[in-house]
Amino acid sequence: HDIGRDRGGVNEALSSARVPIVVASIDTDRLFPPRLQQEIVELAPSALPLQRISSPFGHDGFLIEVETVGSIIRKTLESAVIHRA
């Protein structure tokens, strides 16, 4: 998905986001290396610190490391509920 389409580009879209952004990165992902995820975090003022997932499975790690990915999602949702209450 191109978040920059009709929003003035990726940088503009990220810099104007008004919601917390959670970014996770697989340390061995060669398709979307961690440095690109870190760039998203740096461009988005509302981004939380980069969540790093260690996995020998490269890009497929987000499909295989279900416990770790699930934990990140769970913590994010719990935080959203707490802040909303």
pLDDT digits (tens, 9 = 90+) for 8-25: 999 999 999 888 899 999
In whole angstroms, give the CA distance from residue 37 to residue 26: 9
Residue 3 maps to a domain: no
Q: Which residues form the domain of 64?
A: 10-84
Residue 4 maps to a domain: no
Residue 80 maps to a domain: yes
Tell me: the pLDDT tens digits for 40-62?
999 999 999 999 999 999 999 99
Domain count, the chain: 1
Residue 1 maps to a domain: no
Residue 25 maps to a domain: yes
